[in-house]
Structure 1
Amino acid sequence: MVRTPLTPEERERGEQLGRLLREARGGRSMTDVAAAAGISAETLRKIETGRAPTPAFFTVAALARTLGLSMDDLVERCALLLA
């Protein structure tokens, strides 16, 4: 299956998500946050750096829960890029 290339807006939204998650992580280690969310540190690294701009919903939900973020807030803050 060939994946359709992402639009510049989708890439920017993924980078924004990564910045929000990195900011929320604060001083916690990437390894600790990833383990608490049930994902690998490499997956978290890819999301935070924008190399995985469209992570799975359940991955984002697990990270949001671990970091004490609201999914509504994440959606709103990432959707602002489309305005």
Structure 2
Amino acid sequence: MVRTPLTPEERERGERLGRLLREARGGRSMTEVAAVAGISAETLRKIETGRAPTPAFFTVAALARALGLSMDDLVERCALVPV
């Protein structure tokens, strides 16, 4: 199955998500946050850098929980905005 290429807006949304997660992580290590969320540090690294702009819902939910973020806030702050 071939995946449809992402639009520039979708890429930007993924970059915004990555920045939000990185800011929320603060001084905690990537490894620590990833372990609490039950994902690999490499997955978190890809999300934070925008290399994985469309992470799975349950991955985002686990990260939000680990970082004390509300899903509503993430949705609002990462809403698709035309570039």
Give the structure-2-normalised TM-score.
Answer: 0.96
> Which string of whole-angstrom CA distances, capped at 9 and with x for unpartnered residues, describes residues 38-72 of structure 1?
00000000000000000000000000000000000
Judge conservation of contact 2:9–2:82 (CA < 8 Å) in 1.
yes
Q: CA RMSD in A?
A: 1.3
Q: Distance in 1 between matches of 2:81 and 2:35?
A: 30
Tell me, which stretches of 5 or more residues in structure 1 are unaligned?
none
User: Percent sequence identity over matched residues?
Assistant: 92
> Which string of whole-angstrom CA distances, capped at 9 and with x for unpartnered residues, describes residues 2-41 of structure 1?
0000000000000000000000000000000000000000
Tell me, which stretches of 5 or more residues in structure 2 are unaligned?
none
User: 1:80 offset after TM fit, Å?
Assistant: 6.2
Between structures 1 and 2, the one with greater helix share: 1
Alignment correspondent of 1:14: 14
Q: Distance in 2 between matches of 1:81 and 1:6?
A: 14
Q: Distance in 1 between matches of 2:15 and 2:82?
A: 13
Give the structure-1-normalised TM-score.
Answer: 0.96
Give the secondary structure class of the aligned counterpart of 1:42: helix
User: 1:81 offset after TM fit, Å?
Assistant: 2.9
Matched, 1:70 2:70: yes
Deviates more, 1:72-81 or 1:56-65: 72-81
